[in-house]
Structure 1
Amino acid sequence: MGRPRRDWHANGYYHITMRGNNRQNIFTDHMDVNEYYRILTSVYGKFPFEVHAYCIMTNHVHLLLRSPHVSLGILMAQINKRYSDYYRRRHDFVGQIYQNRYYSKEVPLPTGMLQVSAYIHRNPIETNVPMVSQLQLYPYSSFPLYYYQRKSPHPFVRLDVLPSLVPAGTEYATWCQVPGT
């Protein structure tokens, strides 16, 4: 008996997470993170998608994305297979890298997009032991791009949608930093 098919809508936005097996680290250093970015860029070249928020933690990754051309299953299979192959080679690792199949949940516009993106961006400071004192200091997240209003070095990142959803007169980065948003 196969796994149930996941719902996918070309115009839908999805919160995607992948966690290391037994919560083990799957991003051990800057080289691992850079390879993940490289893989995302490579897959984007074949199956264009949009990432509106991301955070790469040591043992998991969050993506808020839209995949208008191919299903999430096809997209995530490409990303996860390539990264797990890389990880196994680099770290001489045998066994299952990911705890489960990726998690995905469709996110409603506009409120859900803001809530999920804030949750994603707040991950580094809302752990048992915060990884940074301020969100903009965490280097493996899209938050610094919003905070410093920088252009993304990654072609798959879109920075125009989330700021357009916050209440008038509010900066997206400021809105994100308020606990409980």
Structure 2
Amino acid sequence: MGNIRKVWQPEIFYHITMRGNNKQRIFMNKGDFKFFTHTLGRANTIYSFTIIAYSLMNDHYHLLIRSPRVPLSEVLIFINQQYSNYFKRKYKFHDQLYETRYYTNMISDPKELLIVSKSIHQNHLYTQRTIMGKLENYPYSSYPFYVDEKKFKPSYINTSLLPALIKKYPEQKTESYNLYCENIQMEVEKSFHRQYSLT
């Protein structure tokens, strides 16, 4: 996790992907997903970061995150250690939970922020054979916070940046960020998905 400390820029968002070791599951049930989001909240009280998109899958997770105060590596070490300790206690698990390295990509271009966030919010469509009705029906991503403005948002979630970016790029030909995300073009976007390690 040392490399991200060297390239960390506080004003930039990073796409982070963390996978289970040997593709093993890191989330077994609803309680595990809940504990992980609780851990994000605890981490935010210490480090104060912003997430504009996330998706939690059975064997990996994605964060689109900016850490303005401390190197992002410190935030991720805290999150991953806290969750790993919880998982090992709960399941009496003694092996390595995560891969030794996580995927990270600096996202400095606003249009790329839109593309990566959309793919994160659509992530479960690429890893499940059946689509769960509406995109917001998947409960373990940040997308439901974009759909329901009255839904209670954790302090680390920012849902204003991406909709504002959509308005700056009329070539996207969509009225809102939600419609942009719900435009499912799975075949067209598979190559991009592989490029950014989104599955």
Short-chain TM bin: over 0.9
SS at match of 2:175: coil
Q: Which residue of 1 aligns with 2:88?
A: 88
Structure 1 stretches of 4+ with a deviation exceeding 6 A read none
Whether 1:179 and 2:184 are equivalent positions in the alignment is yes
Check conservation: 1:18, 1:103, Cα contact below 8 A: yes
Q: Which residue of 2 aligns with 1:120?
A: 120
SS at match of 1:112: helix
Greater shift in the superposed pair: 163-172 or 133-142 = 163-172
Q: Distance in 2 between matches of 1:129 and 1:6?
A: 39
Percent of residue pairs bearing the same amino acid type: 35
Q: Which residue of 1 aligns with 2:146?
A: 146
Check conservation: 1:124, 1:132, Cα contact below 8 A: no
Q: Distance in 2 between matches of 1:36 and 1:66?
A: 18
Q: Distance in 2 between matches of 1:44 and 1:153?
A: 13
TM-score after normalising by structure 2: 0.84
SS at match of 2:26: coil
AA partner of residue 123 (structure 1): N
SS at match of 2:127: coil
Check conservation: 1:19, 1:100, Cα contact below 8 A: no
Q: Which has the higher helix share?
A: 2
Structure 1 residues 63 and 19, CA, compared in 2 at 3 Å: closer, same or farther?
same
What is the CA deviation profile of residues 122-181 of structure 1, one whole-angstrom value per residue up to 9, with x for unaligned ones?
A: 011122524623311100011111122344431111111010011456211110111347
Structure 1 residues 131 and 59, CA, compared in 2 at 3 Å: closer, same or farther?
farther
Structure 1 residue 27: deviation in Å? 0.7
- In the alignment, structure 1 segments of 5+ residues that lack a partner are none
1:1-181 counterparts in 2 under 5 A? 4=3, 6-130=6-130, 132-167=132-167, 170-180=175-185
TM-score after normalising by structure 1: 0.92
Check conservation: 2:28, 2:58, Cα contact below 8 A: yes
